[in-house]
Amino acid sequence: MGTLRVPMRNFSEDVRPVSDLRRKAHEVVNHARESRRPLLITQRGRGAAVLIAVEEWDALESRNELLEAIVRGDRDFAEGRAVGEKNALARIRKAARK
């Protein structure tokens, strides 16, 4: 899993109107990819969408999956659905023999 590195947002560069996306898509996408910062796309002066490089999206998804797993584990532990180390190893060994 990659490390999520989101540089400080630069509003003079990281906010673009949707018309720029229509007219200069290649340039706008390259900016998002090279800056590694989310790019806010506006429509009629309001935020409409966010463009982010695929690598940054993948890192965000991986981070979210890890955080969700941690939350599930905390919930399981709090609700008594945790097992001790010996019991867990026994279950793993039993499953591996199947």
Q: What pLDDT sits at residue 20?
A: 95
* Residue of 57, 19, 17, 23 whose CA lies nearest to 37: 57
Per-residue model confidence (pLDDT) at position 16: 95
Given CA atoms 21, 24, 27, 30 in this order, what sign does their dihedral have?
positive
Domains of the chain, by residue range, sit at 11-55, 56-97
Task: Provide the mean pLDDT of the chain.
Answer: 89
Output the CATH code of domain 11-55: 3.40.1620.10
**pLDDT range class, residue 29, cuts 50, 70, 90:** very high
* Confidence class for position 47, pLDDT limits 50, 70, 90: very high
State mean pLDDT over 63-81.
94
Which letter does DSSP use for residue 37 in this model?
S
